[in-house]
């Protein structure tokens, strides 16, 4: 009797429920243990995906010693990411504060309206017609634009100042990310396989979900983050070349504006170019708009297809709302985490449609060979 109980410990339904309750309780406690460090862990996963080819290259150079290769890879990441970030942080904070004080002074002294009035020239009749037709006063429009610029600069200044005040915590957080990255570079693949082995889904489904998640992460990084950084850098360089003040600040704003569908960075450079035109700087105004328009066209029509390739990409509208939701929920990390969460959801919905909906089971099996090769032995 005892031997039979040992061989079938969960033959009793109550034992299965008890064991399930124990697992859920311990999983909840484990989640609470790591909850404060979820963002650093996620950033470490992103770094591992990005630095995977570099780690493999270094691993070959050092003769297959994983710990040395992981350490050297983390050192390269520190030099390539941490040092530029900390250098730019102080400069960006200074420019945000400078812009905030300048706009505040111009709003209080009516200097903004005087500058526009002196440079409007032929636009004055057009503005007069707008005032007669829609009741739009030039002073009201300028004041509203000034308050918007003031609020944006104040928001960035407040957040960047918080980062500088918490400089010690920022350094500790980055060190934690590197610590997790070090071990994930060495053992991440094995840990992922062990986690997938616990899934009750078929092995081929688990591997498909794993591939979709990695593909979604790479696509999000390339199609959203990398392109946003490139457009922000290009726009900031253009602003600097044509003499627009606080070019680093406006380049940073363009990084976030680039995810807005249809308009993108034009939300920033178009008003900037118009401002230069009406304040008597036509060469700089036209130069800024042509430069940024050319940079946007190159990124959207040349770089985006090369970075994303033929892989599936989120719809621009979904990307826009996922980035907005990610920024509000997770902060700056939401620029990556928001689209990734949505991409993983779409991958799981695809698995649900493929395997759980009776009406959809026949169609994917016919189209599957055209999309990807079937695993060995699956055609039997």
**Are the CB atoms for 221 and 316 separated by under 8 Å?**
no
Residue 21 lies in a domain: no
Structural domain boundaries, residue 248: 202-357
**Are the CB atoms for 153 and 103 separated by under 8 Å?**
yes
User: Could you tell me the pTM of the whole model?
Assistant: 0.65
Residue 363 lies in a domain: no
Residue 179 lies in a domain: yes
146 and 210 both lie in a single domain: no
Helix (H, G, I), strand (E, B) or coil at 184: helix
Residue 380 lies in a domain: no
138 and 227 both lie in a single domain: no
Residue 182 lies in a domain: yes
Q: Which two tokens stand for residue 133?
A: 């037709």
95 and 162 both lie in a single domain: yes
Residues 256-300: pLDDT tens digits? 788 777 778 888 888 888 777 777 778 888 888 899 889 888 887
Closest CA to 74 of 42, 51, 41, 53: 51
Among 128, 158, 188, where does a domain finish?
188
Contacts from 48-52 at CB under 8 Å and sequence distance 24+?
A: 48/181, 48/184, 48/185, 48/188, 49/214, 49/217, 49/218, 49/221, 50/221, 51/76, 51/77, 51/181, 51/185, 52/185
Residue 98 lies in a domain: yes
Total number of domains constituting the chain: 2
Helix 203-220 crosses helix 334-355 at what angle (to 10 degrees)?
A: 150
Q: Token pair 């779409």 is at which residue?
A: 346
**pLDDT range class, residue 308, cuts 50, 70, 90:** low
117 and 224 both lie in a single domain: no
Residue 369 lies in a domain: no
Residues 104-163: pLDDT tens digits? 666 566 555 555 555 554 455 555 665 666 555 555 555 555 566 656 666 665 666 655
60 and 122 both lie in a single domain: yes
């Amino acid at each position: 009797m005892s031997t039979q109980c040992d061989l079938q410990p969960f033959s009793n339904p109550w034992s299965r429920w008890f064991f399930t309750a124990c697992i859920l309780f311990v999983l909840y406690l484990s989640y609470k243990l790591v909850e404060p460090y979820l963002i650093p862990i996620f950033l470490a996963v992103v770094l591992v995906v990005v630095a995977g080819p570099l780690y493999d290259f270094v691993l070959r150079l050092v003769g297959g010693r994983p710990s040395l290769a992981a350490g050297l890879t983390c050192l390269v990441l520190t030099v390539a990411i941490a040092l530029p970030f900390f250098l730019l942080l102080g400069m960006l904070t200074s420019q945000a504060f400078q812009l905030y004080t300048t706009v505040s002074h111009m709003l209080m002294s009516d200097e903004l309206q005087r500058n526009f009035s002196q440079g409007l020239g032929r636009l004055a009749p057009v503005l007069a017609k707008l005032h007669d037709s829609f009741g739009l006063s030039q002073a009201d429009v300028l004041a509203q634009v000034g308050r918007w610029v003031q609020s944006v600069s104040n928001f960035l200044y407040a957040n960047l100042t918080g980062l500088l005040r918490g400089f010690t915590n920022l350094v500790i957080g980055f060190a934690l990310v590197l610590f997790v990255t070090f071990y994930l570079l060495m053992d991440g693949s094995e840990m992922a396989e062990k986690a997938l082995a616990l899934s009750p889904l078929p092995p081929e489904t688990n591997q498909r979900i794993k591939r979709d998640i990695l593909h979604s992460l790479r696509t999000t990084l390339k199609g959203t983050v990398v392109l946003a950084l490139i457009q922000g850098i290009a726009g900031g360089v253009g602003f600097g070349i044509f003499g627009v003040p606080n070019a680093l600040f406006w380049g940073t704003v363009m990084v976030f504006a680039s995810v807005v569908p249809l308009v993108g960075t034009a939300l920033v450079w178009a008003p900037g170019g118009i401002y230069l035109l009406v304040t008597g700087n036509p060469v700089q105004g036209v130069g800024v708009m042509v430069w940024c328009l050319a940079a946007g066209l190159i990124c959207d029509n040349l770089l985006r297809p090369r970075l994303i390739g033929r892989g599936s990409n989120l719809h621009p509208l979904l990307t826009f709302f996922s980035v907005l939701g990610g920024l509000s929920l997770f902060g700056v990390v939401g620029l990556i985490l928001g689209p990734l969460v949505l991409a993983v959801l779409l991958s799981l919905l695809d698995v649900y449609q493929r395997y759980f909906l009776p009406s959809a089971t026949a169609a994917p099996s016919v189209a599957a060979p055209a999309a990807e090769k079937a695993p060995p032995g699956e055609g039997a």
